[in-house]
Amino acid sequence: MSKPLFFIHPPKCGGSTVISFFDLNLDRDKFINFVWGGVSQEKTRERFLASGIGGGHDPIGIHRDLKMPLEYCSILREPLSRQTSHYWFARNGKNGGVARGVSVSEAEALAQGGELSLDDWVGESCGGKNLFVQMLSGHGRVNRESLEIAIENVRQHIPTVGLCEDMSDFLLRLCGRTGMRLPFFIRTNVTEGVPKERSPLSERAREKFVEDNHLDYELYQYVCDEIARERESYGAIYTQAIEAVRQIQRRIDALDNPYIYTGKSNMFGFDENHLRMVREVATSADLSPIDAYIELAQSRRRECGDLFDGFVDAVNDDMVHGWAVNLSVPDKCVPIEIWVREKLVATTLTGNPRPDVAAAGYASERCGFAVRLPEEAQEGFRVKIAGSAQTIRSAGTWQRGWHVA
Per-residue pLDDT tens over the stretch 202-231: 999 999 999 999 999 999 999 999 999 999
d(CA 271, CA 28): 8
Mean pLDDT of all residues in 185-191: 79
Average pLDDT over residues 97-118: 79
- Least-confidence region, from 25-34, 201-210, 342-351: 25-34
Is residue 3 predicted with pLDDT exceeding 70?
A: yes
Yes or no: domain 5-299 corresponds to CATH 3.30.70: no
Confidence band of 192 (pLDDT split at 50, 70, 90): low
The angle subtended at Cα 268 by Cα 262 and Cα 165, nearest 5°, is 45
Whether 380 shows a pLDDT value over 90: the answer reads: no
Asked if 344 and 337 count as a contact pair (C-beta separation under 8 A), the reply is: yes
Cα–Cα dist 159/303, whole Å: 9
What's the confidence (pLDDT) of residue 40? 64
What confidence category does residue 154 fall into, taking pLDDT thresholds of 50, 70 and 90? Answer: very high
**Percentage of residues of the chain with pLDDT beyond 70:** 90
- Strands 53-56 and 32-33, how do they pair? parallel
pLDDT given at position 265: 46
pLDDT digits (tens, 9 = 90+) for 120-133: 999 999 988 999 99
Note the pLDDT of residue 47. Answer: 87
Bridge partners of 381, per DSSP, are 398
Find the mean pLDDT for residues 39-48. Answer: 77
What is the reported pLDDT for 99? Answer: 62
Summarize the confidence of residues 141-160 as an average pLDDT. 96
Tell me what the pLDDT averaged over the chain comes to. Answer: 90
Question: Which of 12-16, 333-337, 355-359 has the weakest average pLDDT?
Answer: 12-16
Q: How far apart are CA 264 and CA 39, in angstroms?
A: 19
**Structure confidence at residue 112 (pLDDT):** 82
- Confidence (pLDDT) at 261: 55
CA atoms within 13 A on the CB side of 292: 16
The rounded percent of the chain whose pLDDT value lies above 90 is 67
pLDDT at 187: 85
Asked if 191 and 89 count as a contact pair (C-beta separation under 8 A), the reply is: yes
| Residue 350 pLDDT greater than 80, yes or no | yes
Average pLDDT over residues 180-198: 78
CA nearest to 84, candidates 255, 188, 202, 242 = 202
Confidence of residue 90 (pLDDT cuts 50, 70, 90): confident
Q: Where are the domains of the chain?
A: 5-299, 308-404
Report the greatest alpha carbon distance in the chain: 71
Mean per-residue pLDDT, 50-55: 93
User: Which of 78-92, 105-119, 173-187 shows the highest mean pLDDT?
Assistant: 173-187
Give pLDDT, residue 39.
60
Burial class (CB in 10 A: 0-12, 13-18, 19+), 146: buried
Q: What is the pLDDT of residue 393?
A: 92
